[in-house]
Amino acid sequence: MCAMPTMTLSKGAVDFINDEKLTSLIENTREDASRVREVLAKSMEKKALQVEETAVLLAAENPELVEEIFECARELKRKVYGNRIVLFAPLYIGNDCVNDCKYCAFRHSNKDAVRRTLTDAEIVQQVEALENVGHKRLILVYGEHPKYDAEYIAHTVRKVYETKVGRGEIRRVNINAAPMDHAGYRLVKEAGIGTYQIFQETYHHATYANYHPKGTRKGDFMWRLDGLSRAFEAECDDMGIGALFGLHDWRFEVLSLVTHSLHLQQRYNVGPHTISFPRLQPAHMVNLDQKWLVSDYNFKRLVAILRLSVPYTGMILTARESPKLRREIMSFGVSQIDAGSRIEIGGYTEAGDTQCMEREQFALGDIRSLDEVMRELLQDNYIPSFCTACYRLGRTGEHFMEFAIPGFIQNFCTPNALTTLEEYLVDYASPETRTVGEKIIARELAGIKDEKIKAEAADRLRRIKETDDRDLIF
Ligand code: SF4
């Protein structure tokens, strides 16, 4: 019997989104170049911004000022994340859903949607297909339905971790699923999840009520807003927040994401592990309201301004966007992307070169293979990484902030990125990708200042090339 969550909120749960205050900040914050430069200076010291300061950056419309914001976002990205880009893939487990979100092809009332839930054998098949191209990090995605309760989700997480083919294995499993009660979060935590991701979709109360019908589970704004607070209280470590850009004013959603980050930081002494900023995309049997759709230019501004507002939060750019735009925006502060993604249920073994909209929640903009994306990142001088070291060594939640310690990136993140990249090049890459990848590794290895770390990293890279040794983390 599937357990219904008890609707108990977190201790001291509060609705921290004040629509009037945020709307007034948008309407009344005037463009002020010197104020913008003051705020940028604070960001460049890697200090988190207050919501009023983020509003100052949002009010900047003058193209030269916006270019200054872009340049500072690039610089801050380099300072905090270096040139690493972490890779993952989404795996949709099931699309039954009791909700009726108006922007979603999987909504309950869409009778045309092809409904399916992977069997255990099919989960193994999909995971093996992902491992056979080199993936090490997955996010599992579920509709909201009693059959996808905490026990079932924990079971699927274990199924993914126990699936290994050749030198392939999944080392970190993140979750994008409905909010749970405390007991539910404890269950999935025990199964070894990494990040628990819940998108508020829109933080604007009236818009939320318009898109999420009353009486559906997702119609409860506060249950969702409080979702990750309950997860923290159930001792889950890493949280992922996000908004679906295009439902309401993008500036309102940016201010709300910053408010949410500060709220979690204040209450649990650690902000979100990641922020996602998906843009509304065409979906099967969905008529989109065009009013708040975000232009490519404003999308670049929102990514740069989020980067500057939450310096230590990972930023996820997904394959919703086109290859061209992803390539352009990467430098503005993105730290994680998916690649080689298919979101049709069973898509990693069944989907051909074209997308099947009836089987997708929304249309993807980028369905290139993992190897194509890897090669482009390497050609753009990024270090593609499959690192999962912090998560598996317990450097999670507030312990993750060691990140901020000078030299941590040089001594841990870069060598770990290089060993996971070498594994990919030796075990899965095309000859063209391996050629450009080995050049990047040689350059980055030479750049490691600590001679002891450099020697140890060089030895581990040699072992990956010459032996079966794998998973050599710092
Ligand atoms: S967005 Fe999620 S909860 Fe809403 S209908 Fe789609 S699958 Fe269900």
pLDDT for 19-78, tens place per residue? 999 999 999 999 999 999 999 999 999 999 999 999 999 999 999 999 999 999 999 999
pTM of the predicted protein model:
0.96
Residue 273 and residue 240 in contact, taking contact as beta carbons nearer than 8 Å:
yes
DSSP string covering 363-426: --S----HHHHHHHHHHTT-EEE---HHHHTT--GGGGGGGGSTTHIIIIIHHHHHHHHHHHHH
For ligand 1, atom 2, the nearest C-alpha belongs to 143
Work out the pLDDT band at 7, boundaries 50, 70, 90.
confident
Coil, helix or strand at residue 241: strand
**Does residue 412 surpass a pLDDT of 90?**
no
Domain definitions of the chain by residue range: 19-77, 81-368, 394-466
Query: Taking the CB of residue 471, how many other CB atoms lie within 10 A of it?
Result: 15
Q: How far is the CA of 198 from the centre of ligand 1 (A)?
A: 12
Out of 201, 218, 223, give the residue to mutate to test ligand 1, the one with the largest number of ligand atoms within 8 Å of its CB: 218
**Does residue 377 surpass a pLDDT of 60?**
yes
Ligand 1 atom, smallest distance to 201 CA: 1
Q: What CATH number was assigned to the domain covering residues 81-368?
A: 3.20.20.70
Supply the pLDDT for residue 288. Answer: 81
Per-chain mean pLDDT for the chain: 94
Of the chain, the percentage scoring pLDDT greater than 90 comes to: 88
Q: Is 159 left (phi over 0), alpha (psi -120 to 50) or beta?
A: alpha
Higher pLDDT residue, 427 or 4? 427
Higher pLDDT residue, 356 or 85? 85
Supply the pLDDT for residue 393. Answer: 82
In sign, the C-alpha dihedral spanning 202, 206, 212, 216 is positive
Q: How far is the CA of 414 from the centre of ligand 1 (A)?
A: 37
Supply the pLDDT for residue 411. Answer: 77
Ligand 1 atom, smallest distance to 217 CA: 3
pLDDT tens track for 203-242: 999 999 999 999 999 999 999 999 999 999 999 999 999 9
Supply the pLDDT for residue 1. Answer: 44
